């Protein structure tokens, strides 16, 4: 398929104030709710957890139109609309909103920051009750399934017995999968995007480089760093490596080539950095402003440990499922290559589950689901529309 | 393809069958089957733009190249596997057919008849690669890799232990009953392979992936 007409210069919405982006949703707020106890997979008990979440659209009287959007590693509850404090658009504003792929005019969209992250839901930077100090590295190991347990608690709190759909890319796709597998009665449709059933050695390796960058920053200090002296250099390097894995060679050539940040002087000065260098530095610097280094360690560990079928063989586990699946991959995604999605699809189909699979030709790598992407948006919109009609019949 | 072929296939497929359409395109025929026969349908299609059209129609569809095999499907997962106009475009039709019989009880094949008299005449009198309504492309544009006749296909099935349960033949004027190999331009066959063996004659030596399958 030919490359879709994507204005990649606008990039994803994560780390920039996009001046020309006007959200039809206007200003959207996140809320925080404190929910009762949670026991993690590792056996740690939280007396209570804070959950930061956002809802968009209106829940139908039959409560049958709720869609849970599961965020990726760097995403938070602010999925769409303009943030009242930062002015930033939500991380998935391209695809969530009125008339968009996930149509807030039809669906009630819920998005919550994950456990262990730093988006307002309980994580390593949260205060540990009774100590007046943050958890730091005393925070228990979290898993993707723990994140899902928190989301289920939130759904209970919101009074939603069954989701119409769970959708997410990358780490968000793992959550959507775990939710469909562990709570089959709670979701009709599952849309995992650019994700996998477990990480390969290569995926773990890139995360290990990121973690190592944080751990070897002297300011990390065993995880006990102060707000004024955080291991920002290590985290920035981690983000730079991460960012390279999210793009593709095509995207980088297209966007940067061998351009330099400043035009060469008349004397042929080549000391100005390449555009790609300053871009990565910029990404790193922005990321550390909003992300907690310890959270980075916990979340990358969680996705490395993720194994959808850790509790039993795939065939047996999947046979209990009732959800319909739409699995999406991107041809140019070398971090979560299409073969991983195809393996998921093979297991689903062999278990007799209706699964549609599309490998979209978008040439912008793993980030293809975060950017403006008409081919991707069309498939998601049409699938949700048809399945919603089917579910209501 | 001749519209009569689609009508014929619709007649052959009982209600509530499980149908896999290989090379489903934009899903028009599969959608018809699902609606008219309450079939549980699924399509396989290579082109993502066409896959997106199938999704738009609400079909279950799998983006993939048939040539890579059908490993995503279990044995006998379908009652009918359709290969309508696709077989002649595949590099290894024999291997695909064996895969089709692994995942389906019946296989429906539609193909162009390369022994139609207008084809024969064009080769004989004009000395050029024939072009007809059903073979519309120049030799350098055609998707077809294999050019075979109705008799060729019957020989092939006999050697492979495939039984032809039903067939229908068409030319531009409609159904053909007499001398189909001379007068029909397109053929459709309903095939069954109860006796297909693990090392069936259909599989090309050394190229078969099917040895590991339980048939």
pLDDT digits (tens, 9 = 90+) for B94-137: 999 999 999 999 999 999 999 999 999 999 999 999 988 888 89
**Do B49 and B63 touch, CB atoms closer than 8 A?**
no
Pick the CATH number of B3-212 from 3.40.50.410, 3.40.50.150, 3.40.50.1370, 3.20.20.370: 3.40.50.150
How far from chain centre, in Å, is Cα A150? 16
- Least confidently predicted of A4-13, A152-161, A186-195, B154-163: A4-13
- Domain contains A51: yes
Inform me whether the pLDDT recorded for B200 exceeds 60.
Answer: no
The whole-angstrom separation of Cα B115 and Cα A236 is 69
Q: What is the DSSP string of B66-122?
A: GGG--TTS-TT-EEEEEEES-GGG-S-HHHHHHHHHHHEEEEEEEEE-TT-HHHHHI
Alpha helices in chain B (DSSP H): 3-12, 28-37, 48-56, 93-103, 117-121, 150-160, 180-183
Residue A25: CATH number of its domain: 3.40.50.1820
Of A74, A120, A96, nearest to A28 by C-alpha is A96
- Taking residues A208-219, report their average pLDDT: 98
Q: Containing domain of residue A94, as a range?
A: 8-200+307-392
Sorted by where each begins, the domain ranges of chain B are 3-212
- Which residues are paired to B168 by β-bridges? B188
- Domain contains A228: no
- Domain contains A254: no
How do residues A90-132 score in pLDDT, each as one tens digit? 999 999 999 999 999 999 999 999 999 999 999 999 999 889 9
The whole-angstrom separation of Cα A122 and Cα A295 is 10
Contact B60 A390 (CB under 8 A): no
The per-residue pLDDT for A18 is 56
Contact A386 B55 (CB under 8 A): yes
Inform me whether the pLDDT recorded for B201 exceeds 50.
Answer: no
- Domain contains A66: yes
Of B71, B20, B43, nearest to B210 by C-alpha is B71
Q: Which residue of chain A is at minimal alpha-carbon distance from B62?
A: A357
The per-residue pLDDT for B175 is 96
Contact A383 B55 (CB under 8 A): yes
Percent of chain A having pLDDT more than 90?
A: 85
- C-alpha distances in angstroms, A295 versus A271, A324, A325, A336? 36, 32, 30, 22
What's the burial of A209, exposed, middle or buried (CB within 10 Å: 0-12/13-18/19+)?
A: middle
Q: Which residues of chain B does A345 touch, with a Cβ-Cβ cutoff of 8 Å?
A: 62, 72
What's the burial of B195, exposed, middle or buried (CB within 10 Å: 0-12/13-18/19+)?
A: exposed
The whole-angstrom separation of Cα A266 and Cα B124 is 73
**Do A348 and A355 touch, CB atoms closer than 8 A?**
yes
- Which residues are paired to A109 by β-bridges? A56, A67
Inform me whether the pLDDT recorded for A375 exceeds 90.
Answer: yes
Contact B64 A342 (CB under 8 A): yes
The per-residue pLDDT for B195 is 53
- Domain contains A214: no
- Taking residues A133-148, report their average pLDDT: 97
Query: Which of the 8 DSSP states describes residue A260?
Result: B
Q: Which residues of chain A does B60 touch, with a Cβ-Cβ cutoff of 8 Å?
A: 354-356
Test mutation, A382, A385, A389, chain B, max B CBs within 10 A: A382
The whole-angstrom separation of Cα A335 and Cα A366 is 6
Q: Which residue of chain A is at minimal alpha-carbon distance from B51?
A: A358
Kindly indicate the confidence band of residue B210, based on its pLDDT and cuts at 50, 70 and 90.
very low
Which residues of A are identified as catalytic? 170, 333, 366
Q: Choose the closest CB to A360 out of B48, B72, B74.
A: B48
- Domain contains A95: yes
Test mutation, B58, B77, B103, chain A, max A CBs within 10 A: B58
- Domain contains A243: no
- C-alpha distances in angstroms, A11 versus A7, A15, A16, A97, A372? 8, 9, 9, 18, 8
**Measured over all CA atoms, what is the biggest interatomic distance in chain A, rounded to whole angstroms?**
72
Of A179, A199, A14, A195, nearest to A88 by C-alpha is A14
Annotate A145-180 with three-state secondary structure: HHHHHHHHHHHHHHCCCCEEEEEEECHHHHHHHHHH
The whole-angstrom separation of Cα A244 and Cα A206 is 10
Alpha helices in chain A (DSSP H): 144-158, 171-182, 201-215, 232-246, 249-255, 275-290, 293-305, 314-319, 338-350, 374-392
**What is the number of structural domains in chain A?**
1
- Taking residues A241-246, report their average pLDDT: 95
How do residues B141-188 score in pLDDT, each as one tens digit? 988 889 999 999 999 999 989 999 999 999 999 999 999 999 999 999
**Do B103 and B22 touch, CB atoms closer than 8 A?**
no
- Least confidently predicted of A182-186, A189-193, A373-377, B129-133: B129-133
The whole-angstrom separation of Cα A71 and Cα A128 is 24
The per-residue pLDDT for A261 is 79
The per-residue pLDDT for B1 is 86
Q: How far apart are the first and last CA of chain B?
A: 32
Kindly indicate the confidence band of residue B194, based on its pLDDT and cuts at 50, 70 and 90.
low
- Domain contains A22: yes
3-state DSSP assignment of residue A332 = coil
The answer for residues whose C-beta is within 8 angstroms of residue A277's C-beta and 6 or more apart is A261
Q: At what angle do helices A275-290 and A232-246 cross, to 10 degrees?
A: 120
How do residues B15-65 score in pLDDT, each as one tens digit? 999 999 999 999 999 999 999 999 999 999 999 999 999 999 999 999 999
The whole-angstrom separation of Cα B207 and Cα B34 is 35
Helices (H) and strands (E) in chain A, counts: 10, 10
CA torsion, ordered A73, A77, A83, A86, to nearest 10 deg: -40
Q: Which residues of chain B does A386 touch, with a Cβ-Cβ cutoff of 8 Å?
A: 55-58
Inform me whether the pLDDT recorded for A67 exceeds 90.
Answer: yes
Q: What is the ipTM of this complex?
A: 0.90
**Do B45 and B63 touch, CB atoms closer than 8 A?**
yes
- Least confidently predicted of A177-186, A201-210, B156-165: B156-165
Residues in chain B: 215
The per-residue pLDDT for A262 is 74
The whole-angstrom separation of Cα A270 and Cα A264 is 6
The per-residue pLDDT for A23 is 79
The per-residue pLDDT for A1 is 36
The per-residue pLDDT for B206 is 45
The per-residue pLDDT for A265 is 56
3-state DSSP assignment of residue A321 = coil
- Least confidently predicted of A85-89, A277-281, A309-313: A85-89
Q: Which residue has the higher pLDDT, A75 or B209?
A: A75
Q: Which residues of chain B does A390 touch, with a Cβ-Cβ cutoff of 8 Å?
A: 58
Tell me the nearest-neighbour CA distance from B75 into chain A, angstroms. Answer: 9
The whole-angstrom separation of Cα A341 and Cα A357 is 8
How do residues A249-289 score in pLDDT, each as one tens digit? 999 999 899 988 776 555 556 678 899 999 999 999 999 99
Kindly indicate the confidence band of residue B198, based on its pLDDT and cuts at 50, 70 and 90.
very low
The answer for residues whose C-beta is within 8 angstroms of residue A343's C-beta and 6 or more apart is A196, A197
Percent of chain A having pLDDT more than 70?
A: 93
- C-alpha distances in angstroms, A110 versus A70, A164, A383, A385? 9, 11, 19, 18
Kindly indicate the confidence band of residue B199, based on its pLDDT and cuts at 50, 70 and 90.
very low
What are the phi and psi torsion angles at A30 (to 5°)? -105, 155
The per-residue pLDDT for A294 is 98
Q: At what angle do helices A232-246 and A201-215 cross, to 10 degrees?
A: 160
- Of all helices (H) and strands (E), which one includes residue A266? none
The per-residue pLDDT for A260 is 86
The per-residue pLDDT for A8 is 42
Q: Which residues of A86-104 are buried (b: 16+ CB within 10 A; e: fewer)?
A: eebbbbbbbbbbeebbbbb
**Do A287 and A229 touch, CB atoms closer than 8 A?**
no
């Amino acid at each position: 398929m030919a490359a879709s007409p994507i204005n990649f210069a606008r990039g994803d919405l994560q780390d920039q104030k996009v001046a020309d982006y006007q959200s039809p949703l206007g200003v959207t707020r996140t809320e925080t709710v404190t929910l009762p106890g949670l026991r993690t997979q590792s056996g740690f008990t939280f007396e209570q957890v804070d959950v930061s979440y956002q809802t968009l659209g209106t829940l139908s009287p039959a409560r049958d139109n709720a869609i849970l959007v599961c965020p990726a590693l760097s995403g938070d509850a602010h999925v769409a609309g303009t943030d009242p404090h930062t002015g930033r658009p939500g991380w998935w504003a391209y695809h969530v909103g009125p008339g968009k792929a996930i149509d807030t005019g039809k669906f009630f969209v819920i998005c919550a920051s994950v456990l262990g992250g730093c988006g307002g839901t309980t994580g390593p930077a949260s205060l540990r009750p009774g100590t007046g100090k943050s958890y730091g590295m005393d925070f228990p190991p979290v898993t993707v399934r723990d994140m899902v347990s928190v989301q289920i608690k939130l759904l209970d709190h919101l009074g939603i017995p069954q989701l119409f759909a769970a959708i997410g890319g990358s780490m968000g796709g793992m959550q959507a999968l775990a939710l469909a597998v562990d709570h089959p009665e709670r979701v009709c449709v599952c849309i995992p995007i650019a994700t996998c059933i477990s990480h390969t050695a290569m995926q773990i390796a890139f995360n290990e480089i990121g973690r190592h960058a944080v751990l070897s920053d002297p300011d990390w200090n065993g995880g006990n760093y102060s707000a004024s002296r955080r291991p920002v250099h290590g985290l920035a390097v981690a983000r730079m490596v991460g960012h390279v894995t999210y793009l593709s060679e095509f995207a980088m050539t297209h966007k940067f080539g061998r351009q330099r940040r400043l035009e060469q002087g008349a004397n042929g000065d080549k000391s100005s950095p390449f555009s790609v260098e300053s871009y990565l530095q910029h990404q790193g610097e922005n990321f550390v402003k909003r992300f907690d280094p310890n959270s980075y360690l916990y979340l990358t560990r969680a996705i490395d440990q993720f194994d959808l079928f850790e509790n039993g063989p795939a065939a047996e586990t999947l046979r209990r499922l009732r959800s319909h699946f739409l699995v999406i991959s991107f041809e140019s995604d070398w971090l979560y290559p299409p073969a991983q999605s195809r393996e998921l699809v093979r297991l689903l189909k062999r278990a007799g589950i209706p699964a549609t699979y599309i490998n979209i030709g978008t040439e912008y790598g793993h980030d293809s689901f975060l950017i403006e992407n008409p081919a991707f948006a069309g498939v998601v919109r049409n699938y949700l529309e048809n399945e919603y009609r089917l579910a209501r019949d | 393809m001749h519209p009569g072929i689609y009508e014929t296939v619709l007649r052959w497929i009982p209600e509530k069958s499980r149908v896999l359409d290989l090379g489903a395109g934009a899903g028009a025929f599969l959608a018809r089957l699902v609606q008219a026969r309450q079939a549980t349908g699924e399509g396989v299609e290579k082109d993502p733009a066409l896959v997106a059209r199938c999704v738009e129609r609400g079909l279950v569809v799998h983006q993939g190249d048939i040539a890579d095999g059908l490993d995503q499907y279990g044995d006998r997962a379908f009652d009918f596997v359709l290969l309508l106009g696709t077989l002649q475009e595949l590099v290894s039709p024999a291997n695909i057919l064996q895969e089709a019989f692994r995942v389906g009880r019946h296989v429906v094949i539609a193909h162009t008849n390369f022994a139609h008299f207008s084809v024969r005449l064009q080769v004989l009198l004009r000395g050029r690669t024939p072009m007809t309504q059903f073979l519309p492309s120049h030799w350098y544009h055609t998707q077809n890799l294999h050019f075979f006749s109705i008799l060729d296909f019957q020989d092939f099935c006999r050697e492979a232990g495939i039984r032809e349960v039903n067939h229908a033949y068409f030319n531009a004027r409609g159904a053909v009953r007499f001398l189909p190999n001379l007068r029909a331009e397109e053929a459709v066959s309903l095939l069954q392979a109860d006796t297909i063996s693990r090392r069936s004659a259909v599989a090309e030596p050394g190229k078969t992936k099917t040895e590991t399958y339980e048939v």
